[in-house]
Each structure stands twice: as structure tokens, then as C-alpha cells.
Chain A
Amino acid sequence: MEYAVAVLIGILFVGGIYLLLARSLVRMLLGLTLMGNAINLVILVAGRLVQAVPPIVPEGMSTPPLGSANPLPQALILTAIVIGFSMFAFLLVLSFRAYATLDADDTDKLRLAEPKGGPNPPLSY
């Protein structure tokens, strides 16, 4: 099972990095999301995949039953998903604002802060 998930993680990473190399901001965002999901899967596998026994403590006992799933990666992933989603939302709005005001979905056109062929270095002193 781990091997299958590892292959899936690899595919997601490849897709994410490929999209991140694009010039279009929207494609870059989708790439980031793919990469984020791949990382979440890494955390899931890091907690070891076991047959699904829910990690719930039965009544009258003080520990969960033997062989139950590891709850910690799920908590970590949940946090990461929430954070990743809010980042995605923010960057999406930012990209949309850039598209609306700068008419640019293309990073090559985003040269305001670093103008192409800007002024020469100072020659005096």
C-alpha cells in the first residue's frame, strides 16, 4: 500500500512542479495545490498506513484498541489543509487583482517592482 501511495505522491509532485514552472499565475496556483496535497499524503504515509480500526477508546478502557490508525497525522493534515486552503484563497484573490489592475496573468508582464532595462548603476564616485 505504501508503495502505491509513494508512486501517487511522486506523480502529484511532478505535476505540481511542472505547473509551477508555468508563466500563468493560475497554473502556478494549481501547481502549488497539487504539491500541497502530495505533502499531505507524505504526512499520512509517515504515520504508517494500517488496516482501518478507528482510533477511538472503547468504553471502560483507557487506550485505543491494538492496530488502530494513527490519529496524529490526521490532525496534522487537517491543520495543513486549512492553512493551505486559506493561502490558496488569498493568492487566488491576489492573482485576480493582478489580472484586473495590471492585466497580467503572465509573470513576464509583472515587471513593475523590477523594471526590465531599469536605470544604470550610478557611475559617480
Chain B
Amino acid sequence: MLETVTAAADWIIVFPVLLPLIGAALLVMLWGVRVFPWLFAALVVAAIIAADVELLRRALATGPMSMTMGNWLPPFGISFTVDAMGAGFALVAASVTFVVLIYAQMDLPETARRDGFYPLLLLLLAGVSGAFLTGDLFNLYVWFEVMLISSFGLMVLGGRSLQLDGTIKYGFLNFIATALFLLAVGLLYGLLGTLNMADIARVAGRADPAPMAAVAALFLLAFGMKAAAFPVNGWLPASYHTPPPAISALLGGLLTKVGIYALLRTLVLLLPASREILEPVIAVVAVATLLLGPLGAIAETNLRRAVGFLVVGGIGAALAGIALADGSGIAGTATYIVHALLTITALYLVAGLIEKATGATDTHDMGGLYAANAPISILFFVLVLAVSGVPPFLGFWPKLLLLESGLDGAGIVERSIEPWSLAIAAALLLNALLTLIAGTRLWAHVFWRSGPEGAQSEAANPGLRRLTRRETWFGLGAASLLTLAVVLVGLFPEPLLNLGRAAAADLLSPGAYIAATGLAGEAP
């Protein structure tokens, strides 16, 4: 039993999870009461943002901190252990959710908003925040399931046949992925007898490396599926374009990044020795994902499906950092997650606006939007540049870090060429080029070409319509807000880079993380 009572101020560690859970429960209880559920949800999300800001401030100032439930000593009680990386991701995820909440005011049909959009949104955020903040592996599994079940609900909201189709594929494959995750957790428990992350980081080095590598491989497969890495990415372009754009944005922005985060946690922090054994596999997966994602986007004509392929390409970049796993590689992955959370969500939001303005989902039928609605075209172009990593924008900094790490690892300076690092560096550059081609082609087809494909005349596209006042204020406003964030963080990257450096330091030397839970002193 713990003798000391948790200080009142430390309870803030569980706020980002507790608030949305309570909020969602209240919203479900008040199902029949239709007075401003959106206002309530927005207030809850704003409170979560405030809690996350405070957590991040503390984590940056004093290093990781921990709180253990139920008065049990750490290896037994379930710990919430917050480091700068977890708090930072939780903050960005909550902020993105807030913007989507604004956008949803104009995007979702009235019925969808009535049928539980707000409780599901809060539950999704609870799952995401929980996954970012928890310090217990089985607890991470539970948060993954919370996330999964609420994303199922969001994805079928509205119940069109298209959504049913997408959700079945999404549902089955993600359920298999979490089942594999649970299998890995079970085997790890059998090997180490503990599920507390800090405790695992402490004792993992002493275990037999062969079974540990098998467990790590299972983690890689399970989280790779969650993150949509190359051989197991088929579900993402099959499902993320089916729900309304606001929900696409939420799922596309948040969920795959939680998979990458979990990979960082398990492979880099918990099982670094096994990650080294798996390094060639991760490198192959990263290179393949980097190249095949944007190639898919180039061949794709459905706008939001193409964006889905761009998401997959980004996952490759995030995996590249895990394959390289030196200081700047990890910092690159951590900053890439922040970049992807913001940019991908914004891209889906703008894609939704384009679909509204053109009345089509396929780029064959779009065109001429540049003349009709210039602001959308500017937003889309900025985001395309950001996704491909063109300098002034946000995507540049993570890719710079990753490239630096790849070239360092390649050992060109010492003339001892390391082929995988070199391949990753080359793939990163090629990925930027291919992403730029895919993005600018989309831009040309949607905005530049005067009308649908095949129309020879220079006459304006008759399918275009003006955005309503509501769509302009909530939709364009929300998308501009996120794009503004992408531009500003790109122009002033110092806080982001600080976060990345702190994440890399915490992950590569887990001493402080272990000490935070009170298990210090015995680190190997």
C-alpha cells in the first residue's frame, strides 16, 4: 500500500481522460435534452486542452511524472505516467478535436449530430488521451479498445451503405490488430511478470532475447496494422473516405498516429534490444510505405481516398525514425506525429469543403474551383506543401530531422556506408517528391482545370456552387484555423523541436521515466 496520498495538484494527470469520460456519460444521460450539446462538448474539450497545457508545461519543466491508481505500489497498481511526448501529443490531439467540433457544426447532417456524435467524439478523445498518458501496457490495450469502439460508432454514424461497407473492413482488421496486441501483452506478461511500462523498461534487458524479439515482432505487426504501414495498410484507403468529412478528419488525424506512438513506446522505450534485432524489418516496411503511399495517391481519383494514401506515406516517414532510432530520428518521428495530427486533419477538412463546393467526390468530376472559391485553393495548396515537407511549412522540420538521422546513420562522413540508413534517406527524399507530385496533380485537377475531365470548353464548371454562409464560417473558418497553426508552427518551430528533443531524450534514456513511478535505483 502507498503511504503517501497523491497530492491534489497531481490529479491533473488523469484529467484529460476523466473529463471526456464524465462528459460523454453526461451527454448520454441527457440524450433527450437537445439544448446545446455542442456547447457542452466544446467546453469539455476546452477544459481538456487546458489540462494538457498544464501537463506539458510540468513535463517539460520537471520531466516525467506518474500517478498510480488504487493505492497499490507501482508494478501492481495501474500507473499513468506522463512524459513530454505523451502530454504534447495529447494536447495537439485535443486541439485538433476542438477544431473538428467547430467544423462538424456545418458538415454533419442534423440526424448524425443528434444520434450521439458528441458522446462518441468525447469517448474517442478519452481513448486517445488515455493511450498517450497511460504507463501500463494492459491499460494501453483498454484505451485502444475504447478508441476502436467509438471510432466504429463514428464511422457508421448516418448509416449509408457506403459507410457500412467501409466500417466492416475497418472494424474487422482493427479488431484483429488489437487481438494481436493483446496476444503480445499476454506473452510479455508470461516472460517478465509485469505490465507496468516503467517496470518493463527496467527488467526487459535481463530476459531471453529470442522470445522478446518475437513479442516485439507481434507489437510491430499489431501497431503497424493500426498505423496502416505498408503490407497491412489496405483498410485505410478502403474506409476513411466513407464517413462525412469531419469524421474522416478526426479518424484520419488521430488514430493512425496513436499506432505510431504505441510503436515508439513499446519498441524504443520498452524493448530497445528487440528493436535492434527487428531493425531491418522496420527499415523495409518504412521504405515501402514511404514510396507506395504517394504512388497510390497519384493513381487515385477519389479525393479523400487520395488523401488517405498521403496519410499512409506519412506513416512511412514516422516509421523511418523508429528504424533509425538515434536522437534526431526519434525527435523526427515525434515531431512528425505532431505535424501529421495537424496537417492531415486540415487536409481532410479542406477536402470536405471541396466536396461541398463541387458536389462531387471524384476528381474526374471536379474542376474550376480556383475561380469560384480562391480561399479553398490557397488552403489546399499550403497543406499540400506542408505534407510534402516544403521548407517554410510544418512538414519540413520533422523530415529534416529524419533526413539528418538517415545521413548520419549512413555514415557517409566516415566512409562506412550503412545501406539501410542510406535507403531510408533516399526514400524520404523520393517520398517528398512523389507527395508533391500527387498533391499538385490533385490541386491541378480540382482547382486549375476549368471543368470536369473531358470537357473541352473553357466555360466554368456548371456543377460548382457557392458555399453557404454557415459553411463558410464554420467550415472554412475551422480549416483556416488549422492551416494557420500549420503555417505558424512551421515558421516558429523552436517549441516543436524542443518537444521532439525532450521526447527523444526521455525515450532513449528511460531513467527518469522509471524514476517517476518510484521504481528507481535498479535500472540496468
Contacts and interface: CB of A to CB of B under 8 A. Distances in A.
Interface of A: 20, 25, 28, 32, 35-36, 39, 42-43, 45-47, 72-73, 76, 79-80, 83-84, 86-87, 90-91, 94-95, 97-98, 101-102, 107, 110-114, 118-125
A102 B445 contact: no
Contact of B186 (A46, A90, A114): A46
B299 A121 contact: yes
Interface residues of B, number: 48
Interface of B: 138, 141-142, 145, 148-149, 152, 156, 159, 161-162, 164-169, 171-172, 175-176, 179, 182-183, 185-187, 189-191, 237-239, 241-242, 298-302, 362-364, 441, 444-445, 449, 453
A87 B176 contact: no
A47 B189 contact: yes
Given A91-B172, A121-B299, 16 more contacts: A25-B168, A42-B186, A42-B187, A94-B167, A94-B168, A97-B164, A102-B161, A102-B164, A107-B168, A110-B168, A112-B162, A119-B362, A121-B301, A124-B444, A124-B445, A125-B445
A112 to B, nearest CB: 4
Residue among B149, B183, B298 with max Cβ neighbours from chain A (10 Å)? B183
Given A79-B142, A91-B171, A94-B164, A46 B363 contact: no
Nearest to B181: A39
Interface majority SS (helix, strand, loop, mixed), chain B: helix
Given A47-B190, A94-B171, A113 B165 contact: yes
Contacts, number: 113
A33 to B, nearest CB: 10
A43 B189 contact: yes
A88 to B, nearest CB: 9
Contacts of A47: 189-190
Contact of B176 (A20, A101, A118, A121): A20
Contacts of A119: 301, 362, 364
B186 A124 contact: no
B183 A113 contact: no
A113 B238 contact: yes
